[in-house]
Amino acid sequence: MTSEPIFRRAGRPPDGAPNIVAIVLDDTGFAQLGCFGSDVATPYMDRLAAGGLRYNRFHVTALCSPTRASFLTGRNHHAIGMGFLADIPLNHHGYTARIPRSAATLPRILRDGGYSTLAVGKWHLTPRFERSAAGPFDHWPLGVGFERYYGFLQGDTNHYAPNLVQDNHYVDPPATPEQGYHLTEDLTDRAIRYLDDQRHAAPGKPFFLYFAPGAMHSPHHVTPEWVEPYHGRFDHGWEAWREETFRRQRAAGVVPPGTTLTPRPDWVPAWDGLGADERRMYARQQEVFAGFLTHTDAQIGRLIDHLAETGRLDNTIVVLFSDNGASAEGGVAGSVNEHRFTAGIRESLADNLAHHDDWGGPRTYNHYGWGWAWAGNTPFRLWKRYTWLGGTRTPLIVHWPAGIRARGQVRDPVVHVNDLFPTLLDAAGVRAPDVVDGIDQQEIDGASLRATFDDPAAPAPRDTQYFEMLGSRSLIHGRWKVTTDHVSTGVLDEEDLLTGSRSFEDDHWALFDLSADFSEATDRAADHPGVVAELRRLWDREAERNHVLPLFDNLVERFGAFIGPAWPAGDDRTYRPGASPVCDESLPMLFGGFRLSAEVEATADPDGVLLALGDWNGGFALFVAEGRLTFTFSRAGEPLEVTADRPVPAGRQSLGVLHTTGPGGSAFHLLHDDTVVGALTFAGLLPVALQHGGAGLRLGHDTGLPVSDRYRIPSSWNGRLLSVRLRTPGSGPIDPRTELRAALHAD
What's the confidence (pLDDT) of residue 230? Answer: 98
DSSP 160-223: SS--EEETTEEE--SS-GGGT--HHHHHHHHHHHHHHHHHHHSTT--EEEEEE-STTSSS----
Q: How many CB atoms lie under 10 A from the CB of residue 272?
A: 9
What's the confidence (pLDDT) of residue 736? Answer: 47
Is residue 492 pLDDT above 90, yes or no? Answer: no
Q: How many CB atoms lie under 10 A from the CB of residue 589?
A: 16
What's the confidence (pLDDT) of residue 72? Answer: 98
Q: Report strand pairing: 618-625 vs 19-25.
A: unpaired
| Closest residue by Cα to residue 198 from 121, 318, 125, 117 | 117
Longest dimension (CA), the chain: 87
Q: Which residues of 400-427 are buried (b: 16+ CB within 10 A; e: fewer)?
A: bbebbebeeebbbbbbbbbbbbbbbbbb
Distance CA 395, CA 52 (A): 13
pLDDT in tens, 608-657: 999 999 999 999 999 999 999 999 999 999 999 999 999 999 999 999 99
Distance CA 499, CA 271 (A): 20
- Who contacts 101 (Cβ-Cβ below 8 Å, separation ≥6)? 436, 437, 439
Domains of the chain, start order: 24-455 (3.40.720.10), 572-745 (2.60.120.200)
Is residue 555 pLDDT above 80, yes or no? Answer: no
What's the confidence (pLDDT) of residue 741? Answer: 56
Distance CA 746, CA 694 (A): 9
pLDDT in tens, 391-443: 999 999 999 999 999 999 999 999 999 999 999 999 999 999 999 999 999 99
**Alpha carbon distances (Å) from 422 to 328, 400, 428, 461, 701:** 32, 16, 10, 11, 48
In the chain, the amino acid numbered 517 is D
Is residue 739 pLDDT above 60, yes or no? Answer: no
What's the confidence (pLDDT) of residue 411? Answer: 98
Average predicted confidence (pLDDT) for the chain: 95
Distance CA 217, CA 293 (A): 10
Sign, CA torsion 691/695/697/703:
negative
What's the confidence (pLDDT) of residue 324? Answer: 98
What's the confidence (pLDDT) of residue 746? Answer: 66
- Who contacts 290 (Cβ-Cβ below 8 Å, separation ≥6)? 40, 41, 227, 230, 233, 234
Lowest mean pLDDT among 2-6, 53-57, 550-554: 2-6
Chain-centre distance for alpha carbon 2: 54
- Helix 276-309 to helix 238-252 angle (10° resolution) is 30
For residues 718, 647, 577, 621, the Cα torsion angle rounded to the nearest 10 degrees is -110
Model confidence band, residue 489 (pLDDT cutoffs 50, 70, 90): confident
Is residue 737 pLDDT above 60, yes or no? Answer: no
Distance CA 123, CA 213 (A): 10
Is residue 564 pLDDT above 80, yes or no? Answer: yes
Phi–psi pair at 224, nearest 5 degrees? -60, -30
Asked if 461 and 447 count as a contact pair (C-beta separation under 8 A), the reply is yes
Is residue 7 pLDDT above 80, yes or no? Answer: no
Distance CA 204, CA 15 (A): 10
Is residue 745 pLDDT above 70, yes or no? Answer: no
Could you tell me where the beta strands, DSSP code E, fall in 60-173? 116-122, 148-152, 164-166, 169-171
Q: Report strand pairing: 396-399 vs 316-322.
A: antiparallel
Q: Can you tell me the mean pLDDT for 543-563?
A: 84
